[in-house]
C-alpha cells in the first residue's frame, strides 16, 4: 500500500490546471512547471491553445516560473501547439519513463526540488513525476474523450483511485490543496 502512495499519490489534486495555486508553488521553491497538454491544457489533439491555455502559460511566467510542455504525443501535435503558445516543448516523452525529465534537468540546469509536474493521468504524469521526486499536481481530465491507450490507463487509474478512497487519501472528483 505504501508503494501505491509513493508512486501515485499526488501532492495536490486540482479540478483543472487553471485553478492551480501558482503562488503556492512558487513559495515552495518551484522554478519550472512541466505541464502536460492533452486533456490537461486542452482537449486531446486540439491543435489550438485557447485563451485559457495561453493565459495559464502567461500566468506561470508572471509568477516568476518557467513552463515547458511535456507530452507523450507526437512531434507534429506537440510542436504545433507549443509554438502557438511560445512555450518550450518535449514530445514523444514516454512518461512515466525518466529519460525525458532527466534530459530537461540536464539541458536547463534545474534541481529536482525546483520542478513541479502538472497532468491529468496518474499512470503517466503523476507516476513519472513521483519517480523523479518532483512536486506533483494532478488535475481532472478536461474532457472525457481519450485515445485507446489512455482508456486502458483510465481503467487502471480507477482501481488506484478506489484504493486511495478506501484508505481515505483522495477521492476521484474531490479536489484538495495540499494532500501530504
Residues forming contacts to Mg ion in the complex (CB under 5 A) are 36, 38-40, 120
3-state secondary structure of 128: helix
Is the Cβ of residue 26 or residue 46 nearer to Mg ion in the bound state?
A: 46
Q: Least CB distance from residue 179 to Mg ion, whole Å?
A: 20
For the bound state, the minimum distance from the C-beta of residue 139 to Mg ion, rounded and expressed in Å, comes to 9
Query: How far is 125 from 99, CA to CA, in rounded Å?
Result: 13
Chain-centroid distance of CA 153 in Å reads 15
d(CA 135, CA 12): 9
Smallest distance, Å, CB 38 to Mg ion? 4
Nearer to Mg ion, 26 or 153 (CB): 153
Q: How far is the CB of 142 from Mg ion (least distance, A)?
A: 9
Positive or negative: CA dihedral 74, 37, 63, 25: negative
Task: Scan for cell 501530504, then name that residue.
Answer: 180
Closer CB to Mg ion, 2 or 148, in the complex: 148
Assigned C-alpha cell, 112: 529536482
Closer Cβ to Mg ion, 26 or 97, answer by number: 97
Amino acid at each position: 500500500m505504501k508503494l501505491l502512495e509513493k508512486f501515485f499519490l499526488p501532492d495536490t489534486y486540482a479540478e483543472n490546471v487553471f485553478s492551480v495555486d501558482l503562488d503556492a508553488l512558487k513559495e515552495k521553491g518551484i522554478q519550472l512547471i512541466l505541464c502536460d497538454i492533452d486533456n490537461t491544457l486542452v482537449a486531446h489533439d486540439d491543435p489550438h491553445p485557447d485563451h485559457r491555455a495561453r493565459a495559464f502559460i502567461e500566468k506561470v511566467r508572471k509568477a516568476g516560473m518557467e513552463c515547458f510542455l511535456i507530452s507523450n504525443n507526437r512531434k507534429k501535435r506537440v510542436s504545433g501547439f507549443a509554438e502557438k503558445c511560445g512555450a518550450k516543448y518535449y514530445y514523444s516523452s514516454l512518461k512515466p519513463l525518466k529519460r525525458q525529465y532527466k534530459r530537461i534537468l540536464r539541458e536547463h540546469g534545474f534541481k529536482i526540488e525546483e520542478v513541479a509536474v502538472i497532468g491529468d493521468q496518474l499512470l503517466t504524469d503523476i507516476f513519472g513525476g513521483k519517480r523523479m521526486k518532483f512536486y506533483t499536481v494532478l488535475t481532472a481530465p478536461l474532457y472525457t474523450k481519450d485515445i485507446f491507450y489512455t482508456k486502458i490507463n483510465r481503467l487502471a487509474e480507477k482501481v488506484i483511485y478506489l484504493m486511495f478512497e478506501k484508505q481515505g487519501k483522495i477521492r476521484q472528483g474531490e479536489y484538495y490543496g495540499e494532500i501530504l
